[in-house]
Amino acid sequence: MKMQPPLCRSFLALLLLCCSCSKKNDNPGPDNGGANRNYGAGVIYYDWANDGILKFKLQNGTISVQRQHTSGDNGWDISLDGTKMLQSIDNPDDYDSEIYMLMNVADGTVVSKFVRQSGYASHTHPLLSPDMQLIAVPPTFDDGLIVLDTKGKILYNLATYQGKKIEGNVNWMPDKTLVFSIGNNLYRTNSTFTQGTLVKTFSFSEWGYLSVSRDGSKMALAANNHIWMMNADGSNLVQVTSSDNVEIMPLFSPDGKYLLVGTNYRATGPYSHIWNMAVIPADGRRYNVNEGADGNVVPLVKQGGDSPETCDEEMCWR
């Protein structure tokens, strides 16, 4: 994609522009024919290079550092209420384990800290349950889908389902059940993680980056280079982005009305990739995320900035 000069100098200014100008009614946004472009409050957390985990405040477009990058940092998650952060880091005393830390977002104080065996060089990306009482660890080469408490006690280790290895696309549902994938099949567990129900069989050659809206009614995923959305029961699967490039990692806003998406996904080395960040309505319509192509697509531009923010690992919207 050829980068073009952005239409405004800041994310906040672009929001104001979108509030005063809407597209014609054949491409309305989610609110009154596209008249309201207020993407709401909240914070978007994201990784960027050696800067660490950054936080973008949507109310004013400012950026600050949530956690400075430290060698050995692995996956992380922020609780739905924005008060706790879960961070996994390498254990300097044991190559086959990691240290999990549950911290207060406000001041970084540690609430809980424990060592978890993760297998040889397995860097994990743990996920906090909606009530912050459980941790789900997506499968690694050595382990299945693991559920543990915030003190480190392993409660469940789900290695296989119906004789097949659980692969990934793990996410919590609001009722503390989990969704996971095996091949092109997406399943949902019961509350005791002893049974699973088929949600959807996809026909994509590749798919991933599954996201669930906070109320559990919608899901979004990346497939065939673009973003798709469907109901939580697997019905009404629709493509919601188009472009000349690749989109990844859709994430719902806290109110479920919008999606944060990674746009212009591109390689920067043999094992590294980066992408830009933009917000689109989560209304089931398709939006062209090529830069400047659709006024309903809002690039995440910081106050005083002139280009979209870039991410290279994880994102979340709280």
Does pLDDT of 26 surpass 60?
no
Does pLDDT of 41 surpass 80?
no
Tens digit of pLDDT for each residue in 47-88? 999 999 999 999 889 999 999 988 899 999 999 999 999 999
Is residue 122 very low, low, confident or very high in pLDDT (cuts 50, 70, 90)?
confident
**Lowest mean pLDDT across 18-27, 92-101, 174-183, 226-235:** 18-27
Q: What is the pLDDT of residue 95?
A: 86
Beta strands, E only, 72-195:
73-78, 84-90, 97-104, 110-117, 127-128, 134-137, 145-149, 154-158, 160-161, 164-165, 168-172, 178-182, 185-189
Number of H helices, E strands in the chain: 1, 29
Would residue 171 count as lying in a domain? no
Count of other CB atoms within 10 angstroms of residue 182: 19
Would residue 189 count as lying in a domain? no
Would residue 151 count as lying in a domain? no
**Lowest mean pLDDT across 15-24, 157-166, 249-258:** 15-24
Q: What is the pLDDT of residue 24?
A: 37
Does pLDDT of 21 surpass 80?
no
Give whole-number Cα distances, 85 to 18, 75, 255, 279, 287, in Å. Answer: 33, 11, 20, 23, 32
Are 15 and 28 in contact by the 8 Å Cβ rule? The answer is no
Is residue 40 very low, low, confident or very high in pLDDT (cuts 50, 70, 90)?
low
Would residue 32 count as lying in a domain? yes
- Residue 16 DSSP symbol: H
Would residue 284 count as lying in a domain? yes
Q: What is the pLDDT of residue 120?
A: 62
- Give the number of domains in the chain: 1
What is the rounded average pLDDT for all residues in the chain?
88
Element spanning 17, H or E: helix 11-20
Domain that holds residue 236: 7-40+53-62+202-318
Query: Per-residue pLDDT averaged across 96-106, rounded?
Result: 95
Q: What is the pLDDT of residue 10?
A: 41
Is residue 16 very low, low, confident or very high in pLDDT (cuts 50, 70, 90)?
very low
Would residue 100 count as lying in a domain? no
Does pLDDT of 12 surpass 60?
no
Does pLDDT of 99 surpass 60?
yes
For residue 236, which of 269, 292, 285, 187 has the smallest C-alpha distance?
Answer: 285
Instruction: Give me the DSSP letters along 141-169.
Output: SS--EEEEETTS-EEEEE-EETTEE--EE
Query: Per-residue pLDDT averaged across 257-285, rounded?
Result: 96
Q: What is the pLDDT of residue 168?
A: 87
Count of other CB atoms within 10 angstroms of residue 287: 24
Would residue 213 count as lying in a domain? yes
- The tokens describing 64, both together, are 């600050």
What percentage of residues in the chain have a pLDDT greater than 70? 86
Does pLDDT of 23 surpass 70?
no
Count of other CB atoms within 10 angstroms of residue 135: 27
Q: What is the pLDDT of residue 5?
A: 35
Query: Per-residue pLDDT averaged across 284-295, rounded?
Result: 96
Would residue 301 count as lying in a domain? yes
Rounded to whole angstroms, the Cα distance separating 68 from 53 reads 6
